[in-house]
């Protein structure tokens, strides 16, 4: 099916870009390059193209911490600070954490950010997830 082929094509592009980005020594830059490429792939799949932000979610008193990709509702208020943005939880539709090689600790840290967002005063909360190229976690069976 044509859609399946395009999905496979996009997946192969992301995996190839992950491998190519390994030549970059600076970890923060490598992560930014991977995040930006993922955003490009996501934007290419929809019309009109969604706008994604990097930054944090805040209710005015508390904030979630740094978030890699945020998708907000149309026509919402955005506070911009350089390349970063602050969104209210009600205005944020989806949050993605991007990890090259996610560990159990990365998952726990992201879960803590999600819990902080859930504790904020809001009528709705965003869908939250982690996009990881590789997963490096120990199972409970490894400890036996």
Structure confidence by residue, pLDDT tens digits, 48-93? 989 999 999 999 999 999 999 999 998 899 999 999 999 999 999 9
Q: What is the pTM of this model?
A: 0.87
For the chain, the farthest-separated pair of C-alpha atoms sits apart, in whole angstroms, at 53
d(CA 66, CA 69): 9
pLDDT surpassing 70 at residue 128: yes
CB neighbour list of residue 123: distance below 8 Å, 6 or more residues apart: 90
Higher pLDDT, 70 or 3: 70
């Amino acid at each position: 099916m044509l859609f399946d082929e395009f999905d496979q094509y996009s997946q192969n592009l992301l995996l190839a870009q992950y491998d190519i980005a390994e030549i970059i020594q600076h970890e923060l830059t490598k992560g930014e390059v991977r995040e930006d490429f993922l955003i490009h792939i996501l934007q290419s799949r929809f019309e009109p193209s969604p706008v994604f932000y990097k930054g944090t979610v805040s209710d005015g008193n508390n904030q979630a911490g740094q978030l890699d990709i945020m998708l907000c509702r149309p026509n919402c208020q955005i506070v911009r600070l350089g390349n970063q943005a602050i969104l209210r939880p009600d205005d944020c539709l989806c949050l993605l954490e991007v990890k090259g090689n996610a560990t159990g600790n990365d998952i726990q840290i992201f879960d803590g950010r999600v819990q902080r967002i859930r504790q904020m005063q809001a009528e709705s909360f965003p869908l939250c997830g982690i996009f990881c190229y590789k997963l490096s976690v120990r199972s409970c069976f490894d400890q036996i």
